[in-house]
Structures are given as structure tokens and as C-alpha cells.
Amino acid sequence: MSLWVDKYRPKTLDDLHYHEGLSTRLKSLADSPDFPHMLFYGPSGAGKKTRIGCTLRALFGQGVEKLKIDQRVFLTPSKRKLDLNVVSSNYHTEITPSEVGNYDRVVIQEILKEIAQTQQVDMNAKQRFKVVVLNDADSLSRDAQAALRRTMEKYMTNIRIILCANSTSKLIAPIKSRCLLVRVAAPTFQEMKTVLEHVAKKEKFDLPETASHSIIEDSNGNMRKALLVFEALKMQSTDLSGPLTIAKPDWETYCYKVADMILQEQTPQRVMDVRAKLYELLSHCIPPTVVLKTIADRIVQNVDEALKADIMHWAAIYEVRMRNGNKKIFHLEAWVVKVMSLYKHFFYDIDMTGFDDC
């Protein structure tokens, strides 16, 4: 039995619930012989992947749903072996180049060349080209992007590329100017409600207003998260009535605890305790940026207005440093110390001028 997120994932552009204007346009584009390269972007959980899937279906029909998954091995010029998962059908290929980190260029060039040289097997296919979906396009290296720039023009007759990214900020201009940019915004409150109600109807039960409200509030525009939470809740309490407590993921509760620890006491000993907790979070593979943002969010909910801006300011500063640095924990810890000192000084009303410029 599959999860609701998968079970009720729309398969065709007509099934999609929100952004109807966009769906219509995608449908007409898929019918025209003039399908461009595309770049889908938007926040996570907004439905980019689903929309790409539906577009592929509109381009090639049901055949795209027959998937095979291969583990492929590529060789770098220096003879290093790279493993990559390749999902493909007769009509398209999907890869996540970030799986091989800095060697993404090698992989992209190999795969694209290989596909460009093979013919479409299905002679009756509606479109003559094949589609290559590149996930996580934000993290493509500069090199890989430069390589794409030429390739996109050269293989235009046999290949269309669909890039999927959270933001366009990290893509170089020449790539953006070769694609049709498709922004997929997060669904609105009302749109999410419609989707939840649709699922409830299919599962044959009634969804109380209060329940859908709390689910949507909690999800912050992430449709995937909302559906997962919805299903979990339904398992807990079948009629979904009364006050619902949406169980936070463990790591989130843990982050909140850290935030509270920081505000309760500002001592060297406390720094050590917090540090142990941060290690714990990192060792469970919670991305450091998420840890930082979650703790910061919780802290600014509980401090004086005057402090909020500063706390977020330092969060922004330390987050970049963390990305460029090697030891994530150093920067997290430094930020914690900064917050503690800001808080303490504010509490004892000490003049903070001169402390800001670091």
C-alpha cells in the first residue's frame, strides 16, 4: 500500500489541482512541435516534480511511466569511478547530477552525448526528441553549466532538457536565456485545502475544517509535508475531531529545546551543553542550515522586539560562513555564543555600541 502522497499524485496535467493557467500552457506546449528547454523553479513541496511528470506524460503518453532504475558507473578523466542513479523510460532520462558532486560535468556530458546519439525507439512517438530531466539544478557546478550551454544548442533536435531547481539565483545567465522559465509557486491556503479535501473524498471520509486548518498552517506551503502529516493524523485519530496535535518531527522538537536552553542560561557551561546537542543533530544528518534556521526562528519568537533583528542578522552572517567553511559546528557554536551575549547584554541593559562591528 502506498502513501497518500504517491497514491494521489496527479498523473496528467488535467488532474493537477492548482495553477490551472500554468497547466493549460504546459498542455498546449506539449502538443506543439516547438517544445522548448525548460527550467522549473519554486520552493520545495510546491509540486515541481509532479508537474514535470505530468508534462512528460502529455508529451509521450503512458509509456513514460514504465521506469527502469539503473546504477551507472562513470569514469572521470583521472580514472575515478563515479556512481549515479539513472531513472529512465523509453522517452526520458532523469538524473540528479549533484550525487557526484564536483564531477557533475563529466556525467552530464556523457549522458547527454549518449542520448543524443541514440534514436527514439518508438517510431510512433508523438515527439521525436527525448527529454533529460536534471534534478537539483541549483547545485550544478559552473563547469557543468558551461558545458550545458553549448550542448543545449547543439543537440536541440534530439534532446530537450528540463531543469528542476529551487531558485534561479545560482544558474548562469546563458543557461537561463536558453530555457523557458516556469515558476511553480507554493499553493495558497485555499488551494491546499482543496487538495486535502479531494484526498479525503477519495478515502471516503469527511475532513473537518479545523483539521485541515491546522495541517495547512503547519505545512508552510509544502504540499508534500501537508499530505504526509494528514495521513499520519488520520492514523492517530480516525475522525480527526477535537484539538489535534500535529507531531513535530523529532529533530524539530530537539531544535526547540536547544533554543530554550540558550535563552534560559548564558554561561560557558551552557555553551558546552548546547554544543553537545548540536553535534547530536548534525550526526543525524539534519542539514546545518535547517538547524540554524529552526533554532533562530524559535528564539526570535521568544525575545524582545529590539533583539530580533540582531539575532537574525547574525544567523544570516554565520550561515554563509558555515557554507564556505569546513567545520559546520564551529559556526553554529559561534552564533550561539553571539546570541547568548546579545541576550545577556540586553537583559542587563549594557550599552552594545561597538559590539556590532565584528
Partner 1 sequence: MDKFFQPQTTRTSQKQQKHVATPEAQPWVEKYRPKTIEEVASQEHTVAVLRKSLMSSNLPHMLFYGPPGNGKTSTILALSRQLFGPDNFRTRVLELNASDERGISIVREKIKDFARQTPRAITTSSDGKTYPCPPFKIIILDEADSMTQDAQAALRRIMETYARITRFCLVCNYVTRIIEPLASRCSKFRFLPLAPQSAETRLSQIATAESIPLSQPVVRTLISTSQGDLRRAITYLQSASRLALVSQPREDITVRDVQEIAGVVPDAVMVDFAGVIGVEVEREVGEDGMEVDEKPVQGKAKGFDDIRAKVREIVREGYSASQLLLQLHDMIILHPTLTSRAKSKCALVLAEADKALCDGADEELWILEVGVRVWKAVSDSR
Enumerate binding residues for partner 1 (CB under 8 A).
Answer: 24-25, 28-29, 31-34, 36, 41-43, 46, 128, 146-147, 149-151, 153-154, 156-157, 167-170, 173-174, 176-178, 180-181, 183-186, 220-221, 289, 293, 300, 305, 308-309, 312-313, 315-316, 319-320, 323-324
39 three-state secondary structure: strand
Cβ at position 85, least distance to partner 1 in Å = 24
Question: Could you tell me which of 284, 288, 260 has the C-alpha nearest to residue 273?
Answer: 260
Q: Which is nearer to partner 1, 112 or 200 (CB)?
A: 112
Cβ at position 26, least distance to partner 1 in Å = 9
Inter-residue contact 183 to 42 (CB < 8 Å) = yes
Q: Which is nearer to partner 1, 244 or 315 (CB)?
A: 315
Cβ at position 135, least distance to partner 1 in Å = 16
Chain center to CA of 42: 8
**254-261 contacts, C-beta under 8 A, 24 or more apart:** 254/280, 254/281, 255/281, 255/291, 255/294, 255/295, 255/298, 256/294, 256/295, 256/298, 258/295, 259/294, 259/295, 259/296, 259/298, 259/299, 259/302, 260/298, 260/302
Cβ at position 185, least distance to partner 1 in Å = 5
Cβ at position 331, least distance to partner 1 in Å = 12
Q: Which is nearer to partner 1, 240 or 295 (CB)?
A: 295
CA–CA separation, 1 vs 18, rounded Å?
26
Q: Which is nearer to partner 1, 105 or 234 (CB)?
A: 105
160 DSSP assignment: E
CA–CA separation, 35 vs 53, rounded Å?
15
Cβ at position 60, least distance to partner 1 in Å = 17
Q: Which is nearer to partner 1, 220 or 267 (CB)?
A: 220
- The secondary structure of 297-335 as a DSSP string is HHHHHSS-HHHHHHHHHHHHHHHHHHHHSS-HHHHHHHH
CA angle, residues 299, 138, 7, in degrees to nearest 5: 80
Tell me which H or E stretch contains 71. strand 68-75
Cβ at position 236, least distance to partner 1 in Å = 28
Paired strand residues for 68: 88
Q: Which is nearer to partner 1, 11 or 176 (CB)?
A: 176
CA–CA separation, 119 vs 97, rounded Å?
23
Cβ at position 182, least distance to partner 1 in Å = 9
C-alpha cell at 329: 559546528
Cβ at position 53, least distance to partner 1 in Å = 18
